[in-house]
C-alpha cells in the first residue's frame, strides 16, 4: 500500500486543477477529470448520470456506484492599473463532490440517481495586500460564494447495441452569500444571503457505430436560480440608517446556463483510448444581475451589467491501461472566458484558461477502483475593465489565475 | 508515515509556489523632474476642509497625496505648514460677525423639527476661545520652511502680485519666509525652493466671496481679509496674475519647470449652494391655503400642496418679492431659518442669501472667461504645462456622478463623497480623486508613469 500512497502523491504533484468559465464546475467524475473533463462519449459507470445519461446503458456491470470529492485551490492575482499594487484572493478551499448509483434493471433499461455540485465558486479578496493597502475593490465585492447542488434521477434506454438514449430530471438547490464594504466608515457593509431551488433536465445519447468508436451528445437545460426574500443585512452609520434599514430582504436571479456537449472517443489499441469533446456553454443568457430590495428599493436596487458571451470549450484526453489494475490518464482543454471584457467584475474572475489534467485508477480487485485526478487551470494574464453607468472605466487592471484541483474518488462495479 | 507527512509538506509548498505573479507596472518620471514639487493655490491646495485648516485635513491635501505618489519617480520631501491647534482654525462670517471656528463634525443637534445630524463646530465653546485661536493662527512656523505647499486659504489671483500680502492674510503670514529684497510677493515665496515641478489652482476665490455674499455687498461673505480696493467680482487682473505666475515657473527660456494647471470649476455646483433646493418648500393643503391668504395681495405667488418654490426678495419686481426659479440658488447658511423661522414661506428670503439668474450668469460668465484665459496662457508653454479640466469633471459629478473603484462621487452634501462637511472644500476621497486626475494628466503630458493613487485607501467623511 505504501507504493500506492507514494505514486498517488507523485501523481498529485505532477498533475494538479477543473473549473470551467464563469462559475461552472465540471468535476463530476475523477476518471473524466483525468482525461480533460471529457465524459460525453465515455461510459465510466454511474458517473454518466452527469456527463451523458445516454452512456449509462453501456455500463459494463449490472450495478455501479461512484463517489468522490475535489479540492479547489484557486489563486487569483490582480494588479490595479497604473499603480503596481498587487492584490490576491484569500479563497477558502471549496470541495465539490458527487455520489452516483445506477442499476441495469433489465429490458435494456438502466436507472440511476446522482447527487452532485456542478456550479460553485468562492471569491474572497484579502483584506489588505502585502504592502498593507486595503483591497481596492471592496466597494465592488469583498466576498462572494455561490454553490448549487443537483439531485438527478435518471433513466437510460438502449435502443440497440449501438445506440442508447438517457434523460434525467434535475432538482437544483443553490445558495449565494455576498459581502461588500460600503463607503461610509470602515465597519459599513452589506451582506446578502439567499437560497433557492428550481428544476431542469439533463439528456443525452450515445452512439457506438463500431466497437472502437463512441460518439456522445449531451444537453443540460438552463436553470434560473431565483432567489426570493433573501436576507440583506446592512451595517451603516445611524445617520444613513434612516435611508438604509439594517434588516431587509432581496430578490435576485442567477442563471445556470444550458450546456450542449459533443464528444467522440476512439479505442486506438487495447490499452489506449483517446477522446475529444466540444462544449457549448450558453452564457449569453447572463445579461444582467438585478437586485431588488423589499425596502428602500429606490436607494438600493441595482442592475449590474454582465453581457456574458457563449463559450466553446475544446478538450482532448487519453487513457492508457498499464495493466488490469492500473490505468493512467492525461488531458488538456482550452476554456475561453465567457465574461465580457468591459464588464469584468472582480466577483467572478474567469479568464481565458488553458488547463491540463492527469489521473489514475487503481483496482486492487476487479469490482473496485480507486480514482485520483489532478487538474491545473492557468487563467491567462489579461487586462480587464469594469465600466460604470456612464460607460466609463471605473475599475481596471491585470488579472491572472492559477488553480490546483486534486481529487479522489471510488467506484464500485458489480 | 514519515513519507506521508513529507509529501503533505511538499504538496503545500508546491501549491504556495504556484501563486500567480503580475508585474506590469514600472514607475517612470518621463520628461518631468519631481524632485522639488511646489503646490500653489488657495484653501483647496492647502487642505482646508470641514470649515477649517487642521492637521489631518492638510495631510489629505491633494498635493500632499500627489507628492507621496511622486516618491518612486524621484520625488523629494514635501513640507506642509501644518497647523497643530486641536481641531484646527477656520474663519466663518455670519450676520453677527466674523469668528474663528474649529473644524465641523457631524453631530446630532436639536432643531425645530427634532434632533438631526448636522455639521457643527467640534468644540462648541469656540466663542470663548477667539483670542487663543487668533494667537495660534498667527504663530509663525516659517522657521520650519521653506514649504512646498504654498496653499493659502482665501488667496485670489491678484493677491499673488501684492507686495507684503503676508501681512494681510494670517494663513499666509504664519508660514511666509519674510521679505525678500526686490520682490516681496507670493511669487518670490514660490520660487524660493527653486521648484522643478508645480501645481497651480487659482481662481475659485475670485468668485467665491461674491457668491457667498449672495452677489450683494453686505452679504455673509467668508472674507479672509479685505485687501485695498478689492472688487469682489470679476477682478480684471486674472489673466495678468496667472500669466505672471505661470511664466515665472514654466517659461522654457527662464525657470523652465514643468507642472499642472487646474482650471476653475463652477463653484455653484458645490453642495453649499444646493443644500436647499429651489422648490424645497413641501406643504400640506392646509398650510398652502394659509400661506395663500397671507400672500393674497401678491400676484404670481400661489402655493399648492406638495413641493413649492421658496419666496425670495427681489427689488426688481413691483411687489419686491417673487418665487425663486430653477437655476437660482439659496445659500446653505439660512438652512436653519428656512426650516424653523419661516424663511421662504412666511417671509421672503433676503436677497443677500440668494443668487438670482443675473448673479448666476455673472459668475458663469466670469468662470468661462477665466478658463479661456488659462487656455491662452498654456498654449505658450505646451511642453511644460499639463492641464486638468476640473470644470468638466465637477460638471460630470453634478450631472451623472463619477464612479471610481465602486465609489460614486456626486455633488450631494455629506453623502456625495466629493465634498467635506462645509460643502465647499474637498473630502479626503475628493482630494484623492483630484490627485488621481492630476496624475493621469501628468502621465499623459510628460510621458511619465507616476503610480496612481488608490482612492479607496482614503475615507469619505467621518460618520459619527
Q: At B253, is the pLDDT very low, low, confident or very high (cuts 50, 70, 90)?
A: confident
Q: Are B408 and B350 in contact (CB under 8 A)?
A: no
B452·A237 Cβ contact <8 A: no
Residue that finishes a domain, picked among B291, B324, B355 = B355
Give the best residue of B2, B6, B8, B25 to mutate against chain A (max A CB count within 10 A).
B25
Angle (nearest 5°) at CA B79 between B76 and B82: 155
* Percentage of chain A exceeding pLDDT 70: 94
Task: Determine the Cα–Cα distance for residues B171 and B131; give it in Å rounded to an integer.
Answer: 16
Residues B67 and B208 in one domain: yes
- Contact between A305 and A342 (Cβ < 8 Å): no
Of B355, B382, B397, the one marking the end of a domain is B355
Tell me if B91 is assigned to some domain.
yes
- Residue A6 near chain B (CB below 8 Å): yes
Task: Please indicate whether, in this complex, the C-beta atoms of A82 and B403 are within 8 angstroms of each other.
Answer: no
Shared-domain flag, residues B94 and B144: yes
Question: Which of A75, A237, A388 lies closest to B463 in CB terms?
Answer: A237
pLDDT at B423 over 70: yes
Q: Per the domain annotation, does B16 fall within a domain?
A: no
CA–CA gap between residue B259 and residue B448 (Å, rounded) = 12
**How far apart (Å, rounded) are the C-alpha atoms in residues A328 and A372?**
10
**Is residue A17 within 8 Å of residue A70, measured between CB atoms?**
no
Residues B109, B60: one domain?
A: yes
Q: Which residues numbered 388-427 in B keep a CB inside 8 Å of some CB on A?
A: 396, 400-401, 403-407, 414-415, 417
Distance CA B451, CA B27 (A): 6
Extract the C-alpha cell encoding A108. 435494456
Comparing CB atoms, the residue among B15, B20, B406 nearest residue A137 is: B406
Chain B partners of A16 at a C-beta cutoff of 8 Å?
Answer: 14-15, 18
Strands A368-387 and A272-281: unpaired
**B111 and B211 housed in the same domain:** yes
Look up residue A208 and give its three cell numbers.
457506438
In DSSP notation, A141-197 reads -SEEEEEEEEEEEEEEEE-SSSEEEEEEEEEEEEEEEEEEE-SSSTT-EEEEEEEEE
- Residue B1 in contact with partner chain A when CB distance is under 8 A: no
Q: Do B456 and A395 touch (CB under 8 A)?
A: no
Share of chain A above pLDDT 90, in %: 77
Domain with residue B372: its CATH number is: 3.40.50.1110
- The 10s digit of each residue's pLDDT in A240-283 is 888 899 999 999 998 889 999 999 999 999 999 999 999 999 99
Q: What's the pLDDT at A9?
A: 40
B128 touches chain A (CB under 8 A): no
CA atoms within 13 A on the CB side of B287: 11
The pLDDT score that the predictor gives to residue B328 is 96
Neighbours of A410 (CB within 10 A): 14
Do residues B186 and B41 share a domain?
yes
Domain check: are B246 and B305 in the same one? no
pLDDT in tens, A157-202: 999 999 999 999 999 999 989 999 999 988 899 999 999 999 999 9
Residue B9 inside a domain? The answer is no
For residue A368, the 8-state DSSP code is E
| Domain chopping of chain A, boundaries | 2-413
Does the A2-413 domain belong in CATH 2.40.160.60? yes
Domain identity same for B261 and B285: no
Residue B105 lies in a domain: yes
The rounded radius of gyration (Å) of the Cα atoms in chain A is: 22
* pLDDT computed for residue B3 by the predictor: 59
B421 and B398 both lie in a single domain: yes
State the residue for C-alpha cell 479563497: A91
Mean pLDDT confidence for B60-67:
98
Residue contact B20–A84, C-beta within 8 A: no
CB B35 within 8 A of CB B64: no
pLDDT digits (tens, 9 = 90+) for B390-414: 999 999 999 999 999 999 999 999 8
Residue A351 pLDDT > 80, yes or no?
yes
Question: A-chain residues within 8 Å CB-CB of B457?
Answer: 133-134, 136
Same structural domain, B305 and B237 = no
- Please, which residues 115-144 of chain A have a Cβ atom closer than 8 Å to chain B? 133-140
* 3-class SS of residue B255: coil
Domain membership flag for residue B230: yes
Q: Assess contact for A163 and A127: CB atoms under 8 A.
A: no
Residue B208 lies in a domain: yes
Say if residue B158 is in the same domain as residue B243: yes
Same domain assignment for residues B374 and B348: no
B106: contact with A, CB 8 A cutoff = yes
A74 touches chain B (CB under 8 A): no
pLDDT-above-90 percentage for chain B: 70
Per-residue pLDDT at A239? 87
Mean pLDDT of chain B: 89
Tell me, yes or no, whether B315 and B398 share the same domain: no
Per-residue confidence band for B416, with pLDDT thresholds at 50, 70 and 90: very high
Please say if the pLDDT value at position A13 is more than 70: no
pLDDT tens per residue, range B355-375? 999 889 989 998 999 999 999
Q: Is the pLDDT of residue A84 over 70?
A: yes
Domain assignment of residue B166, given as a range: 37-271+365-457
Asked if residue B197 is part of any domain, the answer here is: yes
pLDDT at B64 over 50: yes
B93 has pLDDT over 80: no
How many separate domains does chain B show?
2
Q: How does residue B145 score in pLDDT terms, banded at 50, 70 and 90? A: confident
Residue B21: closest CA among chain A residues belongs to which residue?
Answer: A77
Q: Do A238 and B14 touch (CB under 8 A)?
A: no
Residues of A in contact with B406 (CB under 8 A): 137-140, 183, 394-395
Which residues on adjacent β-strands are paired with residue B107?
B118
Provide the pLDDT for residue A389. Answer: 84
b or e along A188-224 (b: 16 or more beta carbons within 10 Å of the residue's beta carbon)?
bbbebbbebebebebbbbbbbeeeeebbbbbbbeebe
Please, how many CA atoms are within 13 Å of residue B137, restricted to the half-sphere of its CB? 27
Q: Chain B contact for A394, CB < 8 A? A: yes
Among residues B299, B320, B355, which one ends one of the domains?
B355
Q: Where are the alpha helices (DSSP H) in B379-427?
A: 390-399
Does residue B36 sit in helix, strand or coil?
A: coil
Amino acid at each position: 500500500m505504501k507504493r500506492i500512497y507514494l505514486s498517488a502523491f507523485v501523481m498529485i504533484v505532477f498533475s494538479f486543477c477543473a473549473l470551467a468559465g464563469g462559475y461552472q464546475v465540471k468535476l463530476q467524475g475523477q476518471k473524466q477529470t483525468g482525461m480533460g473533463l471529457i465524459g460525453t462519449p465515455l461510459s465510466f459507470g454511474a458517473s454518466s448520470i452527469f456527463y451523458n445519461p445516454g452512456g449509462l446503458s453501456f455500463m459494463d456491470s449490472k450495478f455501479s456506484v461512484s463517489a468522490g470529492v475535489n479540492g479547489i485551490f484557486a489563486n487569483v492575482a490582480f494588479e490595479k492599473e497604473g499603480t503596481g499594487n498587487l492584490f490576491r484572493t484569500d479563497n477558502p478551499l471549496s470541495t465539490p463532490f458527487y455520489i452516483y448509483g445506477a442499476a441495469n434493471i433489465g429490458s435494456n433499461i438502466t436507472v440511476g440517481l446522482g447527487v452532485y455540485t456542478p456550479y460553485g465558486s468562492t471569491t474572497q479578496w484579502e483584506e489588505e495586500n502585502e504592502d498593507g493597502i486595503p483591497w481596492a475593490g471592496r466597494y465592488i465585492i469583498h466576498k462572494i460564494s455561490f454553490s448549487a447542488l443537483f439531485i438527478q434521477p435518471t433513466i437510460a434506454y438502449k435502443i440497440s447495441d449501438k445506440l442508447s438514449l438517457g434523460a434525467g430530471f434535475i432538482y437544483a438547490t443553490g445558495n449565494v452569500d455576498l459581502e461588500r464594504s460600503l463607503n461610509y466608515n470602515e465597519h459599513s457593509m452589506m451582506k446578502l444571503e439567499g437560497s433557492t431551488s428550481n428544476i431542469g433536465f439533463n439528456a443525452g445519447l450515445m452512439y457506438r457505430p463500431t466497437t472502437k468508436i463512441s460518439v456522445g451528445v449531451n444537453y443540460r437545460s438552463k436553470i434560473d436560480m431565483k432567489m426570493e426574500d433573501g436576507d440583506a443585512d446592512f451595517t451603516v452609520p445611524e445617520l444613513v440608517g434612516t435611508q438604509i434599514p439594517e434588516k431587509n430582504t432581496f430578490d435576485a436571479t442567477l442563471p445556470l446556463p444550458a450546456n450542449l456537449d459533443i464528444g467522440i472517443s476512439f479505442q486506438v489499441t487495447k490499452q489506449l483510448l483517446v477522446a475529444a469533446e466540444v462544449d457549448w456553454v450558453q452564457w449569453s443568457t447572463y445579461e444582467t444581475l438585478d437586485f431588488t430590495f423589499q425596502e428602500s428599493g429606490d436607494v438600493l436596487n441595482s442592475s449590474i451589467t454582465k453581457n456574458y458571451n457563449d463559450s466553446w470549450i475544446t478538450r482532448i484526453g487519453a487513457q492508457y491501461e498499464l495493466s488490469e489494475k492500473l490505468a493512467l490518464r492525461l488531458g488538456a482543454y482550452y476554456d475561453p472566458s465567457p465574461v465580457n471584457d468591459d464588464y469584468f467584475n472582480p466577483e467572478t474572475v474567469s479568464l481565458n484558461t488553458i488547463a491540463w489534467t492527469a489521473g489514475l485508477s487503481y483496482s486492487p480487485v476487479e469490482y473496485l477502483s480507486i480514482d485520483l485526478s489532478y487538474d491545473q487551470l492557468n487563467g491567462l494574464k489579461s487586462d480587464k475593465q469594469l465600466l460604470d453607468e456612464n460607460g466609463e472605466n471605473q475599475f481596471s487592471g491585470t488579472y491572472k489565475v492559477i488553480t490546483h484541483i486534486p481529487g479522489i474518488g471510488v467506484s464500485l462495479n458489480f | 508515515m514519515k513519507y506521508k507527512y513529507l509529501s503533505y509538506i511538499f504538496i503545500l509548498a508546491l501549491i504556495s509556489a504556484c501563486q500567480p505573479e503580475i508585474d506590469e507596472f514600472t514607475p517612470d518620471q518621463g520628461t518631468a523632474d519631481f524632485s522639488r514639487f511646489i503646490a500653489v493655490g488657495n484653501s483647496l491646495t492647502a487642505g482646508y476642509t470641514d470649515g477649517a485648516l487642521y492637521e489631518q485635513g492638510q495631510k489629505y491635501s491633494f498635493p500632499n497625496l500627489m507628492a507621496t505618489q511622486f516618491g518612486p519617480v524621484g520625488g523629494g520631501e514635501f513640507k506642509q505648514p501644518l497647523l497643530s491647534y486641536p481641531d484646527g482654525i477656520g474663519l466663518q462670517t455670519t450676520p453677527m460677525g466674523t469668528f474663528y471656528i474649529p473644524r465641523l463634525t457631524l453631530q446630532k443637534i436639536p432643531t425645530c423639527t427634532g434632533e438631526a445630524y448636522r455639521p457643527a463646530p467640534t468644540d462648541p465653546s469656540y466663542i470663548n476661545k477667539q483670542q487663543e485661536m487668533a494667537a495660534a493662527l498667527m504663530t509663525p512656523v516659517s522657521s520650519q520652511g521653506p514649504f512646498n505647499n504654498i496653499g493659502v486659504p482665501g488667496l485670489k489671483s491678484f493677491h499673488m502680485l501684492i507686495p507684503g500680502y503676508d501681512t494681510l492674510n494670517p494663513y499666509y503670514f504664519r508660514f511666509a519666509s519674510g521679505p525678500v529684497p526686490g520682490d516681496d510677493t507670493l511669487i518670490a515665496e514660490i520660487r524660493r525652493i527653486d521648484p522643478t515641478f508645480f501645481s497651480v489652482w487659482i481662481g475659485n476665490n475670485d468668485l467665491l466671496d461674491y457668491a457667498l455674499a449672495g452677489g450683494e455687498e453686505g452679504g455673509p461673505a467668508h472674507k479672509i481679509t479685505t485687501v485695498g480696493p478689492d472688487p469682489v467680482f470679476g477682478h480684471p487682473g486674472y489673466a495678468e496674475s496667472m500669466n505672471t505666475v505661470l511664466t515665472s515657473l514654466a517659461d522654457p527660456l527662464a525657470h523652465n519647470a514643468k507642472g499642472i494647471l487646474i482650471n476653475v470649476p463652477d463653484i455653484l455646483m458645490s453642495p453649499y449652494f444646493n443644500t436647499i433646493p429651489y422648490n424645497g418648500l413641501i406643504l400640506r393643503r392646509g398650510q398652502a391655503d394659509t400661506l395663500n391668504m397671507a400672500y393674497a395681495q401678491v400676484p404670481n405667488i400661489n402655493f399648492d400642496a406638495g413641493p413649492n418654490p421658496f419666496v425670495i426678495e427681489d427689488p426688481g419686481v413691483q411687489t419686491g418679492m417673487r418665487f425663486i426659479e430653477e437655476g437660482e440658488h439659496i445659500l446653505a447658511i439660512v438652512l436653519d431659518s428656512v426650516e424653523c423661522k419661516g424663511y421662504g414661506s412666511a417671509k421672503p428670503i433676503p436677497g443677500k442669501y440668494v443668487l438670482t439668474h443675473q448673479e448666476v450668469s455673472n459668475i458663469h460668465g466670469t468662470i468661462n472667461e477665466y478658463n479661456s484665459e488659462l487656455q491662452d496662457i498654456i498654449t505658450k508653454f505646451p511642453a511644460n504645462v499639463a492641464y486638468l479640466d476640473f470644470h468638466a469633471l465637477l460638471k460630470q459629478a453634478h450631472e451623472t456622478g463619477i464612479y471610481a473603484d465602486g465609489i460614486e462621487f456626486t455633488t450631494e452634501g455629506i453623502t456625495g463623497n466629493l465634498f467635506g462637511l462645509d460643502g465647499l472644500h474637498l473630502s479626503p476621497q475628493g482630494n484623492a480623486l483630484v490627485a488621481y486626475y492630476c496624475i493621469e494628466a501628468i502621465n499623459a503630458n510628460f510621458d511619465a508613469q507616476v503610480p496612481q493613487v488608490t482612492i479607496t485607501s482614503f475615507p469619505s467623511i467621518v460618520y459619527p
